[in-house]
Amino acid sequence: MRALGIILHCQSKEGHVGEFWDTESPTIQALIAKGLNSEFVYGFDWHWRAEESARRPGRANCPATHWTQAKRSLHDGFSSDILEILSLPWLIIGGSCAKNSYKRTLSSQSRLITLPLSPEIDLQFELEIRANRIKRIATYVPHPSSGFFHPSFASAYATILDAGISFFLWLQRKDDTPSFFTATKSAILRGIPGAAPFRELYQYRQREEVLGRKLTENEYQPPFLIWAAKYLSERPSAILSRGDSLANVIIKKIGQAISAKAANRRMTGYKPSPALSSSGRKGTASRYGYTFKRSWDGECVTVTKKGLFKIFLSEDQPNLELNGRKRLYDLVAQSSDPVTIHFSAEVIMLQQGGKVVFQQACTNIKDLGQRERWTEQVRIECTRS
């Protein structure tokens, strides 16, 4: 019999009410990575609602707020009955809707206990008391996806999730990933939820080069493994069991995607403008005064009047470009000193006369193709340095 339960809403990809432990759901993937699973945890949604009802403005709120009283009472009664039928002495409650719904079932004897985790963050436990005895102990945590909707609170939410779930896993004597949600918050705070973790990817490959071996599954962070599984449509454990490098498999697929995109443009009759032809995609670079280089760290670049600058790798590769807009041109035009490009693990920089006049993190490049290729170039430059 399961002693631990969890109540929260898990969005599904299919747009209908399905099983709670749907491994296609990012929320469930996060819970599993943390240490929870259906073998010892009973999970359910307090309001059994279809995904279509959540696709609307303000979707972070529970759609049950717009239901008729009769419909809502039906769901409230069914969920209350589940808690009466199942003992579930330990209960994790995620999100404000589930919390408020559960609290309405409590008697006046129940007590809320607050445990400070820091001066700003508290962990809450509800002692559900019946007939002067503790029937159940519940902890209130944010919904696992809440940090994506409220990035400014992502750090606090992650701390509460990790502390509350880890404590209950410890009570069940189950394995735990102690800082799973704390680790994922860094990706959230970059402002691009779900974005590909390119910096981490190349750090993993660089670590393999330093160690002279392939990394094991335990040497990758759980958030990265979740992203890798979705991107590759294959479990990382299956790739690693074949003796392949997970990082190299991902990088190879990224390269294939870039090549396929370029081939598709050629097949559909895409013709570059004269300005693009002068980049070296067509004709010789010398004709237009450009030089192909595999490494560009410390090399001079030209900033156009629109603030655009490019580097050229080879005749068979499209150029790399970034746009600092007209304010970049206005800044560099004030001096006759050459403008040089420099790379670090964090940013791409332009310097003039020893001063930084432009910097851009790869993770903030909006064009996906350029972002992927600049990330690869940064890795190459940092490996050479």
Backbone angles phi, psi at 72, to 5 degrees: -65, -40
Within its chain, how far is the Cα of 264 from the centroid?
Answer: 29
**Helices 26-34 and 180-189, axial angle in degrees (round to 10):** 140
User: What φ, ψ does residue 4 adopt, rounded to 5°?
Assistant: -115, 135
Q: Which residues contact 303 (CB under 8 A, 6 or more apart)?
A: 309, 324, 328, 329, 332, 339, 350
Element (H, E) at 328: helix 325-332
- Would you state the pLDDT for residue 280? 39
Q: Which residues of the chain have pLDDT under 50?
A: 13-14, 51-60, 188-195, 272-288
Contacts of 211 (CB under 8 A, 6+ apart): none
**Distinct helix (H) and strand (E) counts, the chain:** 13, 12
> What's the burial of 347, exposed, middle or buried (CB within 10 Å: 0-12/13-18/19+)?
middle
Domain boundaries, the chain: 4-190, 198-268, 281-383
Q: Residues, the chain, total?
A: 385
| Token pair listed for 264 | 């598709």
pLDDT for the residue numbered 275: 40
Distances in whole angstroms, Cα of residue 62 to Cα of each of 11, 67, 126, 148, 189: 12, 10, 22, 16, 24
- Is 7 in contact with 47 (CB distance < 8 Å)? no
How crowded is residue 192: how many other Cβ atoms within 10 Å of its Cβ? 12
Q: SS3 sequence, 236-296?
A: HHHHHHCCCCHHHHHHHHHHHHHHHHHHHHHHCCCCCCHHHHHHHHCCCCHHHCCCCCCCC
Predicted confidence at residue 134, as pLDDT, reads 94
Q: At 203, list the tokens.
A: 């750090």
Beta strands 308-311 and 300-301, pairing class: unpaired
Strand order in the sheet with 90-94: 41-44, 4-7, 90-94, 133-141, 122-130, 111-116
Residues ≥6 apart with Cβ < 8 Å to 330: none
Tell me the three state secondary structure of residue 186.
helix
Listed residue (71, 63, 105, 64) closest to 88, CA to CA:
105
Structure tokens at 306: 């629109």
First to last CA, the chain: 58
> Token pair of 169, please?
């896993």
Q: Residue 45: CA atoms inside 13 Å, Cβ hemisphere, count?
A: 21
Q: How far apart are CA 59 and CA 377, in angstroms?
A: 39
pTM value is: 0.51
What pLDDT is attached to residue 38?
A: 93
Which alpha helices (DSSP H) does 133-271 contain, by range?
A: 146-149, 154-171, 180-189, 198-211, 222-232, 236-241, 246-267
